[in-house]
Structures are given as C-alpha cells and as structure tokens.
Amino acid sequence: MSQSPHMEAPVYTLETVAGRQLQVAYWRYSGPPNGKPPLLFFNGIGANTEVASPLPTMLDDRDFITFDMPGVGESPDPAIPYNPFIMSWITSELLDRYEMPIVDVMGVSWGGGMAQHFALQHGNRTNRLILVATTAGMVMVPGKFSALSKMVDPRRYIDPKFMETHFETLYGGSTEGSDGHIHRIKPPSKIGYFYQLFAMLGWTSAPALPFLRKPTLILTGDRDPIVQPINGQILNMLIPGSELVVIEDGGHLFMLSHAQEFIDLVREFLDRDQIEESAEAA
C-alpha cells in the first residue's frame, strides 16, 4: 500500500514508561491543520504494530499512535504481570510524552477491552471511542470452539501455511486481505502472550459501561466466529447513546477484508463533530 502524501512514514521508538519498555509506532500527519485529535489504537492479542500499518495509511488525516504490548512485537518481555488499569495509566503517561492531551480511541478484539478501560479510566483524555470486533470482557457470549482452538495454537504466528489453511475457520467471513495480514505478523513470546491473556482474566467493563459518556461506535462482523455478533449488541445495550454497525459477510478481521467500508464508517464517525459544527455555522 502506497504512503499517503499527508502521512509521514512511521517512526518506531523504544520507550521506557514506569519501568516497562514498549515499542511505539507513530504516524505523523503533515497536511494542512485540521484540528483532528490523534488516534490511539489498541491492537488484538499477540498482534504487533506492523499488523495495524494499513490503518493509518488509509485514515490519513490525523496523527496515529500505537504500541506493542510487553512481550509482543519488538517490546521486551514483561518482568511482572500487568492489568488493564496499569496499561491504561502507562498509555496516558506515553501520550504525555507525545503531547497528545486528547485522543480518539480505537481497539480491536483484545484491544477493544483496553480501549474501553482507557476511556473509563481516562475519560478526560478521550474524545470518541471505536470498538471493533470486541466484547465487554467476561460478560460475553463465547466464540465457536473451532475458531478458539485455532486461536490458541502458536502455529498461527509462526507458520504462514497454517494460517492460510485455517484462515477462514479462524477469522470467518471474507478472506480478502488475508495474505498481507499473514506476512505482517511477528510471533509474540510465550510469556508475552500468556501475560496478555492473564491481564483480562476476570475483567469486565459491564458494570461501568452505563456510566460511559463518550460518543461510541461499535463495529461487529455478522460471520465472526471469535466474537459473535451478539456481543456487539450487548455493548450497544450497555453504552448509552452508542451506535452499532454490523458488517455484512464480516469475519473477525473485517477491518482488512472490508477495508474501504470500515474506513468510511470510521472517518464519518470521527469527523461528525466537525461536520455538525460546519452545518451550524452555515
């Protein structure tokens, strides 16, 4: 995918925050000033920053920041476990370094839980929230066993042939864009993957979500075998004023297989404040 003329090539840095080293990826928007907040992105479990690289290139009108969780991608293994509260605090400290007082927040799958927790813990820093193929944590309807059994198999990170063979079973829906995704993956360390799983053990946002007062867009695929669509309905029911969009023929990675539809929905939602202000001014 070609680089946007208004989006600089990503800068990767290893940051030490509260004793934890994190590989940070930062895409800087260099076009005309538009007042749009940066987008903070929380990735799925075991997913490295490169997996998200198509997103800032397509959504090319704002700064974009993400990072590898401890033991994932280029972030060194964690010395001790962590939880969503700790990682949300560390994320807030990281945003201070990049002079980002207010951000839009997006999370996919496991990262959707982090996005919810960050928005609840740091509401003063959160403008809008986008939840992609995710759940309210322990209050969820489980995915299909055939997909979950493949998800915990380490071969999905280290064996491209395994991923190609089982991609549809694992992620469901259209397989468009799967080849690029497969070759951007770097395997997490065993302890990094375990600590990510452990971080969300027993976690749920459900009791707090009725008090979340942020514009929220929930996107779910109608053929997602990992996060079944009813989980999006649960989030929609719990978050006041939230919007739910179900992607037709969308699996767990509909943000890749339905990239243009996904980007159009995200861009319209993020720009809505500015659109409404322009209409009022007219």
Q: Where are the domains of the chain?
A: 11-275
* Alpha helices in 172-244, H assignment, sequence order: 178-184, 190-199, 230-238
**What pLDDT, in 10s, does the model give residues 30-59?**
999 999 999 999 999 888 898 888 899 899
- d(CA 220, CA 246) in angstroms, rounded, equals 5
**What pLDDT, in 10s, does the model give residues 137-170?**
998 877 654 555 445 555 555 555 655 554 554 5
Residues tagged active-site: 109
**What pLDDT, in 10s, does the model give residues 207-241?**
999 999 999 999 999 988 889 999 999 999 999 99
pLDDT, average across residues 23-28: 96
Residue 91 pLDDT > 70: yes
The predicted pLDDT at position 208 comes to: 97
Q: Which of 7-16, 75-84, 208-217, 249-258 is predicted with the least confidence, judged by mean pLDDT? A: 249-258
Instruction: Return the structure tokens found at 261.
Output: 């539809």
Residue 182 pLDDT > 90: no
**What pLDDT, in 10s, does the model give residues 245-255?**
999 998 888 88
Coil vs helix vs strand at 17: strand
The predicted pLDDT at position 278 comes to: 46
Confidence grade of residue 276 (pLDDT, cut at 50, 70, 90): low
Of the two residues 192 and 187, the one the predictor is more confident about is 192
- pTM of the predicted protein model: 0.88
- CATH fold of 11-275, please? Rossmann fold (3.40.50)
DSSP-assigned letter for residue 161: H
**What pLDDT, in 10s, does the model give residues 102-143?**
999 999 999 999 999 999 999 999 999 999 999 999 988 776
Upper half-sphere CA count for residue 222 (Cβ side, 13 Å)? 6
